[in-house]
């Protein structure tokens, strides 16, 4: 991310779009701050409700949140709700803190923002070459050049940034290397032995956890419960058998770990949208060769 752009803060109040149908951009900024005068208390502001993403280019500042102090240096961002119990401020030693920020109204974004912050926490490492960082810089450039001219453009900009934040925040869940070792081992066991697995209690025991703790930990790391993850693997495995073999549905069900065709057909319909038989024949459905679950 380049930091040679002009400094400034640009606010937006559009009346051409209905507030309940569009994402609302409140402000974009690029600033350099230093010293004790730069300090914001999240419970003392009068401009909320707002959502704030602030991304450091150089120097560093601090975020106090949830009883912890986070040092926010280059390539790092913080995400907070306004109002909420937090405080962010420049270094007391006087080092200049250069950053970009975007402020959004939360209307229509609450669920997305909750998913993002649950995964990233209040402070996140965001590489300068990431789509999130590039979109934030591009948005500021557009504001500085007067190119955000109506609520439709502003809403589409917010949507793109939020989608990239969702993608970024979920990437760790897709990458097994970031999963705790016990969860990674359990997932590999599910993938290898999906057709002949013992009960989940035994998988939890192998992971050294109670069944409830294992379920919570697995979901937190992967985004799926263990049963959902197993179902995903089984349904994906059934695609090849349905498309490339003549096995009866009952035998396909048993081959991927189900006791019978009736239950398999019900689960398949819930996940794919139509029955295994319709999927196999392609009658009156889109002829899918593969379905991605993520």
Where residue 209 sits, what CATH number does that domain have? Answer: 1.10.10.60
Give the residue from 294, 243, 244 showing the smallest Cα distance to 271.
294
SS3 label, residue 89: strand
Residues near 166 by beta carbon (within 8 Å), at least 6 away in sequence: 112, 115, 116
Regarding whether 159 and 188 lie in a shared domain, the answer is no
Low-confidence ranges of the chain (pLDDT < 70): 1-5, 18-21, 172-175, 282-294
* Per-residue model confidence (pLDDT) at position 294: 59
Regarding whether 189 and 138 lie in a shared domain, the answer is no
H helical segments located in the chain? 110-120, 131-144, 151-174, 181-192, 200-206, 211-222, 226-244, 249-255, 261-272, 276-281
Tell me if 289 is assigned to some domain. Answer: no
Please identify, among 119, 146, 174, the residue that sits at the C-terminal boundary of a domain: 174
Please identify, among 174, 196, 218, the residue that sits at the C-terminal boundary of a domain: 174
* Per-residue model confidence (pLDDT) at position 240: 85
pTM reported for the whole predicted model: 0.66
Domain extent at residue 221: 181-281
**Torsion angles phi and psi, residue 140, rounded to 5:** -65, -45
Question: In CATH, what number is assigned to the domain containing residue 116?
Answer: 2.60.120.280
Is residue 108 left, alpha or beta, with left meaning phi > 0 and alpha meaning psi from -120 to 50?
left
Tell me if 104 is assigned to some domain. Answer: yes
Regarding whether 140 and 71 lie in a shared domain, the answer is yes
Regarding whether 124 and 41 lie in a shared domain, the answer is yes
* Per-residue model confidence (pLDDT) at position 244: 86
């Amino acid at each position: 991310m380049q930091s040679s752009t002009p400094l400034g803060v640009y606010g937006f109040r559009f009346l051409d779009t209905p507030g309940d149908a569009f994402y609302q951009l409140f402000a974009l900024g690029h600033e350099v701050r230093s010293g004790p005068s730069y300090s914001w208390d999240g419970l003392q502001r009068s401009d909320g409700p707002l959502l704030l993403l602030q991304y450091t280019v150089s120097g560093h500042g601090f975020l106090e949140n949830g009883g912890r102090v986070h040092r926010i240096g280059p390539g790092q961002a913080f995400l907070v709700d306004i109002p909420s119990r937090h405080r962010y401020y420049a270094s007391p030693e006087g080092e200049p803190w250069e950053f970009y920020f975007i402020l959004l109204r939360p209307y229509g974004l609450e669920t997305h923002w909750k998913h993002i912050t649950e995964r990233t926490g209040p402070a996140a490492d965001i590489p300068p070459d990431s789509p999130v960082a590039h979109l934030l810089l591009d948005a500021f450039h557009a504001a500085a050049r007067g190119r955000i001219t109506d609520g439709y453009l502003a809403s589409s900009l917010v949507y793109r940034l939020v989608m990239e934040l969702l993608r970024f925040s979920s990437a760790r869940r897709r990458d097994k290397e970031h999963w705790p070792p016990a969860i990674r081992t359990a997932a590999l066991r599910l993938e290898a032995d999906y057709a002949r697995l013992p009960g989940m209690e035994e998988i939890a025991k192998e992971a050294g956890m109670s069944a409830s703790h294992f379920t919570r930990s697995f979901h937190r790391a992967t985004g799926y419960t263990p049963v959902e993850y197993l179902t995903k693997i089984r349904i994906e495995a059934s695609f090849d058998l349905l498309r490339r073999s003549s096995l009866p549905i009952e035998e396909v069900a048993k081959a991927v770990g189900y006791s019978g065709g009736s239950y398999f057909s019900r689960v398949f319909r819930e996940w794919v949208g139509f029955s295994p038989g319709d999927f196999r024949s392609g009658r009156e459905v889109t002829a899918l060769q593969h379905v991605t679950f993520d």
